[in-house]
Amino acid sequence: MLEKVKRFNWIMFAAMLALVAVGTVAIWSAGNARDQRFHGMWISNLQAAAFGLVLYLSLAFTDYRRFLELLAWPLYAGALAMLVAVLFVGDTVYGGCRWLWFFQPSEVSKLCVIALVASLLGGGDEWFCRLRPTFRGFLVSALLVGAPCALILAEPDLGTTLTLAPAILVMMFAGGVWRRGLALMVAAGALTVMAVLCAVYEAEKPGVPAERREAILRYTPLKEHQVKRVRVFLFPDDDPQGSGYNLRQAKIAIGSGGFTGKGIGKGMTNHLKYLPPAVSLNDFIFCVYAEETGYVGSLVLLALFLALLLPCCWIAFKSRDGRGRLLALGMSSLVFAHVYVNIAMSIGLLPITGLPLPFVSSGRTFLVTVMCGLGLVQSVSLHRGLEE
Partner 1 sequence: MKRGEPQESDIVSGAVCWATAALFLLGFTVLAVKLKEVQVTDSAAYGYANARQSVRRVQTCGARGRILDRNGEVLAENRPSLSIVCYPESFQKKTWDETINGIVGSAALVGEAIGRAPDCSEAAIRRHVRESLALPLVAFRDVGERELAVFSEREREFPGFEVRETDERVYPKGALAAHLLGYVGRDRGEAIAGDEKFNFFMPEMRGRAGLEVYYNSFLRGVGGERKILVDARGFAIREWTVVESRKGPDLELAIDARLQAVVERELSGLKGACVVMDPRNGEVLAMASAPGFNPNDFVPVLRPGLYERYAKDPSEPLLNRASGGAYAPGSTFKPITALAGLSSGFSPSETYDCDGVFELGLMRLHCSSRWGHGPVDMRHALMKSCNPYFCSLAMSVGTNAVMSAARAFGLGSKTGLDLGVDMAGVVPDSGWKSSMYHERWYQGDLAQMSIGQGMLLVSPLQMARVAGALGTGMLATPRLKKGLSPELRPIPFSKAQLAVVRSGMRMVVAGDGSSRGTGWRAGEGVAAEVCGKTGTAEIGRGATRRKNTWFIAYAPAASPTIAVAMVVENGESGGGTTAPKVGAVLKAVFGESGRTGPDADGG
- Contact of 18 with 304, CB cutoff 8 Å: yes
Amino acid at 88: F
Which residues between 285 and 324 bind partner 1 (CB under 8 A)? 290, 294-295, 298-299, 302, 305-306, 309-310, 313-314, 316-322
Inter-helix orientation angle 364-382/10-32, to 10°: 170
CA 131 to chain centre: 30
8 A C-beta contact, residue 276 and residue 246: yes
Q: Which helix (H) or strand (E) holds 173?
A: helix 158-174
Residue 66: φ, ψ to 5°: -65, -40
- Minimum CB separation of residue 309 from partner 1 in Å reads 5
Q: Which is nearer to partner 1, 110 or 251 (CB)?
A: 251
Shortest gap between Cβ of 48 and partner 1 (angstroms)? 26
27/174 with CB nearer partner 1? 174
3-state secondary structure 198-220: HHHHHHHCCCCCHHHHHHHHCCC
**Shortest Cβ 323–partner 1 spacing (Å):** 9
**CB-based contacts of 301, cutoff 8 Å, min separation 6:** 19, 22, 286, 289, 293, 360
Interface stretch with partner 1, choices 100-108, 150-158, 231-239, 331-339 (CB under 8 A): 331-339
CB 290 within 8 A of CB 47: no
H-type helices in 61-122, by residue range? 64-89, 105-121
CA–CA–CA angle 51, 358, 271 (5° rounding):
100
- Is 34 a binding residue for partner 1 by CB under 8 A? The answer is no
**Cβ pair 167, 115 in contact under 8 A:** no
DSSP 262: S
Q: Which of 13, 64, 138, 274 binds partner 1 (CB under 8 A)?
A: 274
Does 387 sit near partner 1 (CB under 8 A)?
A: yes
Q: Of these, 161, 220, 333, 361, which contacts partner 1 (CB under 8 A)?
A: 333
Residue 121 binds partner 1 (CB under 8 A): yes
Kindly write out the interface string for residues 152-191 of this chain, putting x where it contacts partner 1 by CB under 8 A and - elsewhere.
------------------x--xxxx---------------
Using left for φ > 0, alpha for ψ between -120 and 50, and beta otherwise, residue 220 falls in beta
Binding mask 339-358 for partner 1 (x = CB under 8 A): -x--xx--x-x---------
**Candidate list 38, 233, 336, 359; residue touching partner 1; CB under 8 A:** 336
- Closer residue to partner 1 in complex, CB, 81/349: 349
- Please give the Cα distance from 331 to 382 (Å, whole number): 16
Residue selected from 255, 264, 300, 307 as contacting partner 1 according to rule CB under 8 A: 255
# chain residues binding partner 1, by CB under 8 A: 59
Tell me how far apart the alpha carbons of residues 111 and 103 are, in angstroms, rounded to a whole number.
Answer: 14
Decide: is 233 part of the binding site for partner 1 (CB under 8 A): no
Stretch that binds partner 1, among 54-62, 153-161, 229-237, 253-261 (CB under 8 A): 253-261
- The window from 11-19, 22-30, 76-84, 256-264 that contacts partner 1 (CB under 8 A) reads 256-264
Return residues touching partner 1 (CB under 8 A).
Answer: 121-123, 132, 170, 173-176, 251-259, 268-269, 272-274, 290, 294-295, 298-299, 302, 305-306, 309-310, 313-314, 316-322, 325-326, 328-329, 332-333, 336, 340, 343-344, 347, 349, 384-388
